[in-house]
Amino acid sequence: MNAKHHHHRAPPLAKQRGAALVLLAIGMVALIGIAGLALDGAHGMLNKTRLQNTVDAAALGAAKTLDQTADTALAEAAARAMFAANAANAGNRELALAYAANKINLTVQFSSTLNPFVPGSSPAAYVRVRAQDFELPVWFSVVLGNVDKKVAASAVAGPSPTLNQACNIMPMMVCGDPAAGPPFFGYTPGQPEVLKSSTSNGGNWEIGPGNFQLIRLGGGQGGSYIRDAMAGGYDGCMAVGDNIETEPGNTVGPTVQGFNTRFGNYQGPMNGTQSTYPPDVVTAQPSPLLKYDSATDTITQNGAPVTDQSQIDFNYQSYDARVRASNYDNQPAPSGDGAFQRREAAIAIGNCNGTTNGQGQVPLLGFGCFFLLQEAQQKGNESQIFGQFLTDCRSGGMPGPAPTSVPGPYLIQLYRDYGSTDS
């Protein structure tokens, strides 16, 4: 019997072409989808970065305003103004258009603690700015069903931990008690102090003959350096563990000229430097001015000894109340030339055990915060600087890694928003 052979005929050419077209179409859709995901993803990441940068700037601006004024309404206004200004920067066109069209949900919250961040808790210290619902167009990846793409960002800003490296400090030092230890090294919060004296009973002999509590910062020396540094012209830093280089001599004229710019008094070479060294927004002073009695080593006002802040008719509490009430002597920028916190200063605290004859070194214990009570008055070769010791103040520098309740100089910085995945 002959075997039967079954032959399978190839499908017609038209059918083969049809199947190939289907496969090709599927492949093209897949390729377009993959390319689309890459392009749309890159576009989304770019705008996410732009949004995060804008939110970061808004949070820092709000935290700075809150630190200066303790007013959450002003801080929120600063956050929104800063967000709008940064959204308008070149390259942020999509962000600017969305914000102008109210298509970005921007919220500003305040908390007294960082972690946990508790919105509405008091007193407000930290600011959270969140931007949500920023919708971006979907281009090629729509073929894979991706029709909705929104990005969000969140940032928290507030005071840093106490600085172990302080910048923008003044070119003078005070003597601390190493045995008393940090953070105050023997100073009492609120207490009025003589920060710089020109007499042998005012503390300069603790440092050594020829020294009047002036110091060299970054190798600077001489009258011109003292003048500019007293006005705030030194932007270098010192760290705990460094040695303080003393600057011998009283250098009264340059000290007074530089220091008094903080009160809006521009004399000698400082005349015309208002834009570089602006006055504080509040320049009111005790009346009559404080004096120093070298015979008794005491501060006096109107002939009576001053041993407590409550005896001074204009002290830090008076100043702070006026700032919070926006009761300014000099309107802050941009409407005026006033600047916040020009009368709050971080000052080096040295270990003055032992003496330094002429130029020498004093171990740095830490940094103290002082409110500058009044202008420096020059009487021949004498002048004193009076300050009120504060628990903390804003300064430039390098903080530790985590928030702390230890007082001292601090700066305003960004933190991770622990309550959001968008930070």
pLDDT in tens, 203-247: 444 676 677 788 888 888 888 999 999 999 988 888 888 898 888
Claim to verify: residue 158 and residue 185 sit in the same structural domain? no
**Higher local confidence (pLDDT), 239 or 34:** 239
Claim to verify: residue 183 and residue 100 sit in the same structural domain? no
Please give the helix or strand (H or E) that residue 52 lies within, else none.
helix 13-69
Cα–Cα distance for residue pair 46/92, rounded to 1 Å: 10
pLDDT of residue 413: 87
Claim to verify: residue 370 and residue 263 sit in the same structural domain? yes
pLDDT confidence of 136, banded at 50, 70, 90? confident
Relative to beta strand 237-239, strand 163-167 is antiparallel
pLDDT of residue 410: 80
Q: Which residues, listed in sequence order, are joined to residue 347 by a DSSP beta bridge? A: 368
**Higher local confidence (pLDDT), 224 or 33:** 224
Q: What is the pLDDT of residues 334-361, one digit of tens each?
A: 899 999 999 999 899 998 887 677 788 8
What value does the mean pLDDT take over residues 394-421? 68
Claim to verify: residue 356 and residue 214 sit in the same structural domain? yes
**Higher local confidence (pLDDT), 164 or 232:** 232
**Average pLDDT of the chain?**
82
Q: Evaluate whether residue 414 is within a structural domain.
A: no
Comparing CA positions, the residue from 129, 138, 132 lying closest to residue 111 is 129
Least confident of 89-98, 277-286, 304-313: 89-98
Q: What share of the chain is helix, strand, coil (3-state, %, to 5)?
A: 30, 25, 45
Q: Evaluate whether residue 4 is within a structural domain.
A: no
Cα–Cα distance for residue pair 135/123, rounded to 1 Å: 35
Claim to verify: residue 173 and residue 313 sit in the same structural domain? yes
Q: Which of 127, 162, 197 is the last residue of a domain?
A: 162
Given a cut of 70, whether residue 39 has pLDDT beyond it is no
Cα–Cα distance for residue pair 253/138, rounded to 1 Å: 67
Number of structural domains, the chain? Answer: 2
- Domain range for 265: 164-399
Determine if the pTM surpasses 0.85. no
Claim to verify: residue 201 and residue 347 sit in the same structural domain? yes
pLDDT of residue 204: 40
**Higher local confidence (pLDDT), 45 or 225:** 225
Cα–Cα distance for residue pair 387/306, rounded to 1 Å: 12
